[in-house]
Amino acid sequence: MNRYYFEEAIVLKYQKIKDSDLLLTLYGKTKGKYNAIAPGALNIKNRLRGRVEPFCWGKGYFVVRRSLDLLINWETIDSYWEIRNNFEKLNLAFSIIKTIDKFVISEYSDEKIFNIIIEALNLVKEKYILYLREIFFLKLLQSQGLINNFSIRCDKCGKVFNDEDILRVNIYENKVFCKNCSSIGLIVSLESIKSINNILNHSISELKNINIFQEICNLVKEYEKTLM
């Protein structure tokens, strides 16, 4: 087994341990979400100091250990200073990173997730987008196979929906029903269903002007509850 490896990663968070070491939580392009130690990263002369902040994107050189691997060197790809200098963008970036930390299990590896993190941060860097965190969460669910495109007809009776219909979404079955076929589930409009499908059918970078409704925010909250 090779004792050393390179990994492209995003820093999700860090925690001080001992006097000057940092315990990092990372999302790696190939390793997924995992922890590593950045020894001496708080020392003034340490080459890691200031480089492994939350949502820093870089390529690390690691040493394999039985417990936690050690980060020896870090080559920064983007520190996202444009985000750090804008309060609204900073909060949005942190909400995206916290979503990954909260809803992706350790050692779960998926390059698609890594790519949507980068896409989302690059979009925040470019401009502040209201509800980007909700868009990101839906794309995260999609990447894990937890949500797919919703039908625009009732999954029970087959009725084609129109704009006046009251629809109910069953998030556990990923199905939509008309009011005659189900009395349970979250109430949404056809416009919201089409908006969600639009989000799922496009990359984050293509969704700069997507319409987000309160119903979609409510749907995201329901999915969050099921994953907690």
Q: Which of 52, 80, 108 is the last residue of a domain?
A: 80
Domain containing 39 equals: 4-80
The answer to the question of residue 100 being in a domain is: no
Our count of domains for the chain comes to: 2
The answer to the question of residue 14 being in a domain is: yes
Where is pLDDT greater, at 208 or 182?
182
Confidence of residue 211 (pLDDT cuts 50, 70, 90): low
CATH number of the structural domain spanning residue 72: 2.40.50.140
Where is pLDDT greater, at 106 or 59?
59
Q: Which of 38, 55, 80 is the last residue of a domain?
A: 80
The answer to the question of residue 97 being in a domain is: no
Whether residue 54 contacts residue 35, with contact meaning beta carbons closer than 8 Å, is answered with: no
Q: Which of 80, 103, 133 is the last residue of a domain?
A: 80
Confidence of residue 92 (pLDDT cuts 50, 70, 90): very high
pLDDT at 228 over 80: no
The answer to the question of residue 155 being in a domain is: yes
The answer to the question of residue 109 being in a domain is: no
Q: How far is residue 158's CA from residue 167's CA, in Å, rounded to a whole number?
A: 13
The answer to the question of residue 111 being in a domain is: no
For residues 128, 134, 139, 140, the Cα torsion angle rounded to the nearest 10 degrees is 110
Given this model, what pLDDT does residue 18 score?
84
The answer to the question of residue 89 being in a domain is: no
Given this model, what pLDDT does residue 97 score?
95
Residue 201: CB atoms within 10 A of its CB come to 11
The answer to the question of residue 93 being in a domain is: no
